[in-house]
């Protein structure tokens, strides 16, 4: 029996999924695999684990496991469920790559999909679980797709053993044909339960014109209008990246300052606006309401152009109806909005995945009395988190995504249009608690040109890490794997080739025709080295470095370098746009200090040749020496959250290495000394072994045929010149040969994470 507080009980009863508890549990009892579809906010993630728990699916011998594609969701959902059930986090726990609070008592375990994949490697049958829930399956993250493929085989195996495992796939959209109508995946079609969304209608307003580039400015103007003119209710803005989010937050805070002690109006305000809205609704003609473009969130039917189109915008009719609230607002172009207005406090909060968890948690709490909540978010708010009280959504229609070249693996971040499905998800965030409005900052014609759905991640990125994991599971013929959507053959081939080059797979016998060779390559078995590499929770290139580091006591250094290379954004961004002169000066000072420190961290002699990797090693070493405090990080241009992640990953990798070489006796030393000259030289060889195909040679003066090759490097794979990134310590050095961690395309092709190598 679960002992829930009265407030939680009340909130739960409002969730549509509660009415379906019996239907869901019957389906689960009678079928090994069940798919549950329901709009974001309907209660899938928080309630289904509780249904299972109350039905006795969790016990001391069996856990309920839930996977999430995003770390944010794994952590915050475990906390929410623990709270709802009034249980400690010793029982309702989470595990993400860097950390967790799982105990012997854990009965409900939230984890990222990558964590479960690792567990399958240790125990293919997942014997400690009674149920696996794959959440957010619509996101089609690479690991989620693979897990579904693997579980489609594990479930029947467990059945045969007489220890049945239940698989539940949960999705925010109804588009689950890739799972249901794929008989290689599931020979018996699993039942699909649709949870009534009880979604309030969301009125969609398209812009007449689509802004060419300044969608941030357009967002600003739209939020100002909503805040000035429309009744109370939270605003959720979708932008593409952290920098944009911050700059919009600053602009909005300046325009509508909120002081902590400002309680003007208080609760009365709310009453007024409810009254206002009621009057407004009454005044509105029914006929007009019916013709407003609506999206049906249950089947994603596309709004016909003429319905959502500018010609039939509500504004003219609204005026005729005598209403003083123009819900359509029109395209933003007014200038007066920049004026600061403290009589209308707006409580502005940012939300993105790199934000510190305690700051992320703020969006779930009620805004201070007398203020309106405005959350400025990246894509994380699209489906994984439900923010309470949102009535207005402002959607810029864009998303920032990493794109990879299929052959070279060169990646670039690009801002592109979202899919229609994403746009509808975003709009749906507005209708959770009452009818809402979604302002799309693009025209309906542009919307019609969006792709219907975004492509599954597995078809879009290199898959060497995935293939190594699969080979470690003895899946040799990867092409025969029941992928929900298979990756392109050339991506598979590139991955196998790299793994062979790293020595992780056994070389195929060289035989006749190219086609046969390719087929042979796609079914190479794993090598003993590959098995060791697969136990490390990092990409194959980095795993190879670890596997080579036994000699000369290099392991602690390699572990640190690899941890630093796999954690995103170690250093603070100094190039970000500043809002005030004060901030500009502050950033300038910070940058100067950072550049000084960078030189110190880069060391001397052979260490210096390790370039950016030495800077990472030096920075982590210095930070740990200082106790890894927030203060030290802020003073020296390091990102505190990244440093904490590195610390945890170092711990984890140290444990992983110790379990492979039982005599290594490694521990994480907070007072790690810099490497000796011999070690630094050896580290460069280790790095070269892992990044062997990432070598670049500087173009010599006599080879300079074209100005565009000035200071450029030539790589084996690319025709075009590549350059050392300006943030690199080797930017001015220009060594003859370098290895790089990755090439990123912005205005040019830039190498990041650069070390110098010497020709043999």
Q: What is the binding site for ligand ADP (CB under 6 A)?
A: 15, 38, 40-47, 76, 80, 364, 386, 388, 432
- Could you tell me where the DSSP H helices lie in 429-580? 444-449, 464-472, 489-501, 514-521, 528-535, 540-547, 555-566
Cβ-proximal residues to 555 (8 Å cutoff; 6+ apart), any chain: 546, 549, 657, 664, 666
Interaction partner, residue 107 (Mg ion, ligand ADP, none; CB < 5-8 Å by kind): none
45 binds Mg ion, rule: CB under 5 A: yes
Closer CB to ligand ADP, residue 75 or residue 564? 75
Smallest distance from ligand ADP to CB 5, Å: 13
Closest residue to bound Mg ion by CB: 45
Cβ atoms of 397 and 446 within 8 Å: the answer is: yes
Interaction partner, residue 550 (Mg ion, ligand ADP, none; CB < 5-8 Å by kind): none
CA 616, CA 621: separation in Å to the nearest integer?
8
Smallest distance from ligand ADP to CB 128, Å: 24
Interaction partner, residue 69 (Mg ion, ligand ADP, none; CB < 5-8 Å by kind): none
Closer CB to Mg ion, residue 138 or residue 221? 138
Closer CB to ligand ADP, residue 41 or residue 409? 41
Closer CB to Mg ion, residue 47 or residue 563? 47
Cβ-proximal residues to 659 (8 Å cutoff; 6+ apart), any chain: 535
Interaction partner, residue 80 (Mg ion, ligand ADP, none; CB < 5-8 Å by kind): ligand ADP
Interaction partner, residue 42 (Mg ion, ligand ADP, none; CB < 5-8 Å by kind): ligand ADP
Closer CB to ligand ADP, residue 45 or residue 741? 45
Smallest distance from ligand ADP to CB 371, Å: 18
Smallest distance from ligand ADP to CB 14, Å: 8
Interaction partner, residue 684 (ligand ADP, Mg ion, none; CB < 5-8 Å by kind): none
- Could you tell me where the DSSP H helices lie in 14-102? 21-30, 44-54, 71-85
Gap between the terminal Cα atoms of the chain? 70
Interaction partner, residue 444 (Mg ion, ligand ADP, none; CB < 5-8 Å by kind): none
Closer CB to Mg ion, residue 74 or residue 696? 74
- 643 three-class SS: helix
The string of DSSP codes covering 95-115 is E-SS-B---TT--EEEEEHHH
Closer CB to ligand ADP, residue 38 or residue 231? 38
Q: What phi and psi values does residue 206 have, to the nearest 5 degrees?
A: -90, 150
| Tokens coding 638 | 């390091």
Interaction partner, residue 144 (ligand ADP, Mg ion, none; CB < 5-8 Å by kind): none
Cβ-proximal residues to 111 (8 Å cutoff; 6+ apart), any chain: 65, 66, 67, 68, 74, 94, 95, 96, 100
Smallest distance from ligand ADP to CB 205, Å: 24
| Tokens coding 445 | 């014609």
Smallest distance from ligand ADP to CB 234, Å: 12
Closer CB to Mg ion, residue 385 or residue 607? 385
Interaction partner, residue 725 (ligand ADP, Mg ion, none; CB < 5-8 Å by kind): none
Cβ atoms of 443 and 209 within 8 Å: the answer is: yes
Smallest distance from Mg ion to CB 536, Å: 31
Instruction: Give the closest residue to 392 by CA, choosing from 203, 256, 249, 265.
Output: 203
Query: How far is residue 474 CA from its own chain's centroid?
Result: 29
Smallest distance from ligand ADP to CB 433, Å: 8
Closer CB to ligand ADP, residue 195 or residue 498? 195
Interaction partner, residue 364 (Mg ion, ligand ADP, none; CB < 5-8 Å by kind): ligand ADP
Smallest distance from ligand ADP to CB 12, Å: 8
C-beta atoms surrounding 433 within 10 Å: 15
Cβ atoms of 232 and 268 within 8 Å: the answer is: no
| Tokens coding 330 | 């029109």
Closer CB to Mg ion, residue 429 or residue 521? 429
Helix axes 71-85, 6-13, angle to 10 degrees: 120
Q: Which stretch binds Mg ion (CB under 5 A): 38-46, 210-218, 354-362, 569-577?
A: 38-46
| Tokens coding 742 | 């990755």
Smallest distance from ligand ADP to CB 194, Å: 12
Helix axes 464-472, 113-122, angle to 10 degrees: 30
**Which parts of this chain interact with Mg ion (CB under 5 A)?**
44-45
């Amino acid at each position: 029996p679960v002992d829930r507080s009265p407030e939680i009980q009340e909130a739960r009863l409002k969730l549509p999924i509660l009415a379906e508890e019996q239907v869901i549990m019957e389906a689960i009892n009678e079928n090994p695999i069940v798919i549950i579809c329901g709009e974001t906010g309907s209660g899938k993630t928080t309630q289904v684990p509780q249904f299972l728990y109350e039905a006795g699916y969790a016990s001391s011998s069996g856990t309920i496991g839930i996977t999430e594609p995003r770390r944010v969701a794994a952590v915050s959902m475990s906390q929410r469920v623990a709270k709802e059930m009034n249980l400690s986090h010793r029982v309702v726990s989470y595990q993400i790559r860097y950390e967790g609070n799982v105990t012997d008592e854990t009965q409900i375990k939230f984890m990222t999909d990558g964590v479960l994949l690792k567990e399958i490697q240790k125990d293919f049958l997942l014997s400690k679980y009674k149920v696996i829930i794959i959440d957010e399956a619509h996101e089609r993250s690479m690991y989620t797709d693979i897990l579904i493929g693997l579980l489609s085989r594990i479930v029947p195996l467990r059945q045969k053993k007489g220890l049945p495992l239940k698989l539940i796939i949960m999705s925010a959209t109804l588009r689950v044909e890739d799972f249901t109508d794929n008989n290689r995946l599931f020979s018996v079609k699993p039942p699909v339960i649709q949870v009534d969304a009880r979604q309030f209608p969301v009125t969609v307003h398209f812009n007449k014109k689509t802004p060419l580039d300044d969608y941030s400015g357009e967002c600003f103007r739209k939020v100002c209008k909503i805040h000035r003119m429309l009744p109370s209710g939270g605003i959720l803005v979708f932008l593409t990246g952290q920098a944009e989010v911050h700059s919009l937050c600053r602009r909005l805070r300046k325009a509508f300052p909120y002081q902590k002690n400002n309680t003007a109006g208080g609760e009365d305000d709310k009453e007024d606006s409810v009254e206002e809205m009621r009057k407004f609704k009454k005044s509105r003609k029914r006929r007009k309401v019916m013709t407003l473009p609506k999206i049906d969130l249950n089947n994603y039917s596309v709004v016909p152009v003429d319905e959502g189109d500018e010609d039939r915008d509500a504004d003219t009719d609204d005026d005729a109806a005598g209403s003083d609230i123009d819900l359509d607002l029109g395209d933003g172009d007014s200038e007066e909005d920049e004026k600061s207005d403290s009589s209308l406090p707006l409580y502005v909060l940012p939300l993105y995945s790199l934000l510190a968890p305690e700051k992320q948690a703020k969006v779930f709490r009620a805004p201070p009395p007398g203020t309106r909540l405005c959350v400025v978010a990246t894509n994380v708010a699209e489906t994984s988190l439900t923010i309470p009280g949102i009535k207005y959504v402002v959607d810029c229609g864009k998303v920032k995504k990493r794109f990879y070249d299929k052959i070279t693996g060169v990646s670039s971040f690009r801002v592109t249009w979202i899919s229609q499905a994403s746009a509808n998800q975003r709009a749906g965030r507005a209708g959770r608690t009452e009818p809402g409005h979604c302002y799309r900052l693009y025209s309906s014609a542009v919307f019609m040109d969006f792709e219907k759905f975004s492509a599954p991640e597995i078809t879009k990125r290199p898959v060497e890490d995935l293939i190594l994991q699969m080979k470690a599971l003895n899946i040799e013929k990867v092409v025969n794997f029941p992928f929900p959507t298979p990756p392109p053959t050339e991506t598979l081939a590139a991955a196998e080739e790299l793994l062979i080059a790293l020595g992780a797979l056994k070389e195929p016998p060289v035989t006749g025709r190219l086609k046969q060779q390719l087929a042979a390559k796609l079914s190479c078995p794993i090598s003993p080295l590959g098995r060791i590499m697969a136990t490390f929770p990092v990409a194959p290139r980095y795993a190879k470095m670890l596997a080579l580091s036994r000699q000369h006591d290099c392991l602690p250094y390699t572990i640190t370098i690899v941890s630093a290379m796999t954690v995103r954004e170690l250093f603070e961004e100094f190039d970000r746009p500043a809002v005030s002169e004060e901030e500009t000066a502050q950033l300038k000072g910070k940058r100067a200090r950072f550049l000084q420190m960078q030189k110190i961290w880069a060391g001397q002699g052979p260490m210096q040749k390790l370039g950016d990797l030495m800077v990472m090693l030096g920075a982590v070493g210095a930070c740990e020496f200082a106790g890894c405090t927030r203060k030290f990080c802020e003073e020296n241009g390091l990102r505190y959250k990244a440093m904490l992640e590195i610390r945890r990953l170092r711990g984890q990798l140290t444990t992983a290495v110790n379990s492979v070489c039982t005599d290594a006796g490694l521990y994480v030393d907070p007072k790690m000394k810099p490497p000796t000259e011999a070690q630094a030289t050896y580290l460069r060889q280790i790095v070269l072994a892992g990044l062997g195909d990432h070598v670049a040679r500087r173009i010599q003066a006599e080879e300079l045929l074209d100005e565009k090759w000035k200071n450029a490097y030539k790589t084996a794979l690319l025709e075009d010149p590549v350059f050392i990134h300006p943030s690199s310590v080797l930017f001015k050095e220009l060594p003859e040969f370098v290895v790089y961690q990755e090439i990123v395309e912005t205005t040019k092709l830039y190498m990041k994470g650069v070390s110098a190598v010497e020709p043999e």
